[in-house]
Amino acid sequence: MVTDHPKIGLKIMRNMSERISWLTSRVGSLSSTHLEERLFAVLTAVAAEHGTRTADGLMIEFPLTHEELSFLVGAHRVSVTKALKALRASGKVEQRGRCLVLPPG
């Protein structure tokens, strides 16, 4: 099929390459020992892929529960709550209602 339809083969290879790149990034972020770093890496990836660029930075406009974030970073929900609080205190993440903003810099 790929030899008969080379465009399909190229599309499949691009898609697989993107998935491998994403998985490599996820494994790298999970290898970090500090939960705050892992959480910030996941939030940065989500904001880059699904966020909206605003004057204040990248905004994640859909709510992410602490339970969902805990699944993404491989930690307990309570630990994610504390890490998110620390990220807000350091200015790396801002809470705007149910949205999160990652300021530039």
Per-residue pLDDT of the chain (105 residues; tens, 9 = 90+): 667 888 888 888 888 888 887 677 666 655 656 899 989 989 998 999 899 999 999 999 998 899 999 988 888 999 999 999 999 999 999 999 889 999 986
DSSP line for 52-103: EEETTEEEE-S---HHHHHHHHTS-HHHHHHHHHHHHHHTS-EEETTEEEE-
CB neighbourhood size of 79 (10 A): 15
pTM, two decimal places = 0.69
